């Protein structure tokens, strides 16, 4: 019996590990698949609700590291994860995405001689001021197997001199989850609860430090809402970082005064998927949501200067706008009038990515 550990830490990790866990269950006679939750995200709405929605078992280990500076958080994860590896001696560690838990657990594993597989490898924004870009570069430099979602990731890894045998273009595990749960998400009653109508609202998610940590950035975001509010309902589940920053910069009252802006607490996976599927437009700075909207054919304006997921712009429905108020307002209005980019679904985003990954890994351990 071989033992494999998958690491989850923050909200965008759960929907990536869920399909891997399901795929490993088919090999339960030969592989024990354990889940370690670092506790990087810990609020019920940022973490626990996803285990229920995605039918994940309780984590086998919960490290409870919580928030902190980058150094504190990364260091705490490393110290606690090392204890787990010394106890379990797994044959392989799987990390996903680009959060602090991803790089911290990769580093601990390779130093103990345990192979690491990185799922969602090779993505590059080219912007080293983003903590995630540093996490991606470092994780890919030390991981043994690199599972890639789109062709640009393969090109990036080749450019960095990664050996061909480590690179596997397998598609997108997050889309595996989306396809698996889309029907179930249709049963969510969130739209009725909010009193909005399908295709008549704009869904917003914004949490990047570059957008929300400064008063100027938050001010521009509120200006965008004020300018589009006459044409659309705005549904905004607010990330804890953004809530904290709105309060810190004294902008809560201005936000509350915007007609048709609904500020919500963070919501679970199924409710969120239902909202994306029914939105007329999505405004975001998330990575994953650029991909989910491309898959669903929903227009998406990304409030960033760059993206590590260029396929969503090249063939999908995504459009990079930066935090340029005029551009975002003009493109939103065009979409409200029915002018929208038609997209295609990228190659291998077909619901079988986890199966491909598990087949590769099982043949190796």
> Shortest Cβ distance from residue 194 to ligand UD1 (Å)?
21
> Shortest Cβ distance from residue 282 to ligand UD1 (Å)?
16
Q: How far apart are CA 51 and CA 48, in angstroms?
A: 5
Q: How many residues in the shown chain lie near ligand UD1 by CB under 6 A? A: 19
Give me the catalytic one of 168, 207, 231, 239: 207
Verify binding: residue 40, ligand UD1, rule CB under 6 A.
yes
5-13, 166-174, 318-326, 331-339 -> range binding ligand UD1 (CB under 6 A): 5-13
> Shortest Cβ distance from residue 12 to ligand UD1 (Å)?
5
| Partners of residue 37 on adjacent β-strands | 8, 62
> Shortest Cβ distance from residue 220 to ligand UD1 (Å)?
19
DSSP-assigned states of every residue in 29-80: TTEEEEEEE--SS-SGGGTHHHHHHTTPPPPSEE-------HHHHHHHHHHH
> Shortest Cβ distance from residue 91 to ligand UD1 (Å)?
26
For residues 140-199, which are near ligand UD1 according to CB under 6 A? Answer: none
At residue 349, what are phi and psi to the nearest 5 degrees? Answer: -90, 70
Q: Which of 207, 231, 304, 331 binds ligand UD1 (CB under 6 A)?
A: 207
Verify binding: residue 11, ligand UD1, rule CB under 6 A.
yes
DSSP 122: S
For residues 18-37, which are near ligand UD1 according to CB under 6 A? Answer: none
Q: Which of 3, 32, 42, 151 binds ligand UD1 (CB under 6 A)?
A: 42
- Please say whether the beta carbons of 80 and 65 come within 8 A: yes
4-12, 221-229, 291-299, 323-331 -> range binding ligand UD1 (CB under 6 A): 4-12
Task: Say whether 70 is catalytic.
Answer: no
DSSP 182: H
Compare residues 132 and 277 and give the one whose CB is closer to ligand UD1: 132
Q: How far apart are CA 106 and CA 108, in angstroms?
A: 6
Name the residue among 88, 83, 98, 75 with its Cα closest to residue 33: 88
Q: Which of 132, 140, 176, 271 binds ligand UD1 (CB under 6 A)?
A: 132
- Please say whether the beta carbons of 110 and 134 come within 8 A: no
For residues 49-108, which are near ligand UD1 according to CB under 6 A? Answer: 67, 98-100
> Shortest Cβ distance from residue 4 to ligand UD1 (Å)?
23
CA dihedral 306, 152, 297, 55 (to 10 degrees): -100
Verify binding: residue 131, ligand UD1, rule CB under 6 A.
yes
Q: Which tokens go with 244?
A: 């904290």
- Residue 33 makes CB contacts below 8 A (sequence gap 6+) with 4, 6, 20, 21, 24, 25
At residue 125, what are phi and psi to the nearest 5 degrees? Answer: -90, -15
Report the interface residues with ligand UD1, using CB under 6 A: 10-12, 40-43, 46, 67, 98-100, 131-132, 207, 239-241, 244
Residues designated as active site: 207
């Amino acid at each position: 019996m071989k033992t494999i550990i998958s690491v989850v830490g923050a909200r965008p990790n759960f929907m990536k590990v869920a399909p891997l866990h399901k795929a490993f269950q088919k090999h339960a006679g030969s592989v024990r698949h354990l889940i370690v939750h670092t506790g990087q995200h810990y609020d019920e709405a940022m973490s626990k609700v996803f285990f229920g929605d995605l039918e994940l078992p309780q984590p086998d280990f919960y490290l409870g590291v919580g928030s902190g500076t980058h150094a504190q958080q990364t260091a705490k994860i490393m110290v606690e994860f090392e204890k787990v590896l010394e106890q379990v001696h797994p044959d392989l560690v799987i990390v996903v995405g680009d959060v602090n838990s991803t790089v911290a657990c990769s580093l601990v594993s390779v130093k103990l001689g345990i192979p690491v597989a990185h799922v969602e490898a090779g993505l590059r924004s080219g912007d080293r001021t983003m903590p995630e870009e540093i996490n991606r570069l470092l994780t890919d430099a030390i991981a043994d197997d690199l599972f890639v979602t789109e062709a640009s990731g393969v090109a990036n890894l080749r450019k960095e001199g990664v050996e061909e045998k480590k690179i596997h273009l397998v598609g997108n595990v997050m889309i595996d989850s989306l396809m698996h749960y889309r029907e179930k998400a249709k049963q969510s009653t969130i739209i009725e609860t909010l009193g909005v109508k399908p295709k008549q609202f704009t869904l917003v998610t914004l949490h990047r430090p570059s957008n929300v940590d400064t008063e100027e950035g938050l001010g521009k975001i509120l200006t965008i809402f004020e300018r589009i509010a006459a044409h659309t309902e705005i549904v905004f589940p607010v990330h804890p970082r953004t809530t904290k920053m709105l309060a810190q910069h004294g902008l809560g009252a201005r936000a509350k005064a915007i007609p048709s802006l609904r500020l919500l607490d963070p919501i679970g996976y199924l409710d969120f998927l239902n909202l994306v599927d029914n939105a007329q437009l999505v405004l975001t700075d998330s990575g994953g949501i650029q991909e989910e909207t491309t898959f669903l054919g929903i227009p998406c304006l990304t409030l960033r200067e760059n993206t590590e997921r260029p396929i969503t712009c090249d063939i999908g429905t995504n459009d990079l706008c930066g935090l340029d108020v005029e551009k975002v307002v003009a493109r939103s209005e065009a979409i409200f009038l029915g002018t929208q980019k038609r997209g295609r679904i990228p190659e291998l985003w077909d619901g079988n990515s986890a199966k491909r990954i598990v087949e590769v890994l099982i043949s190796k351990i």
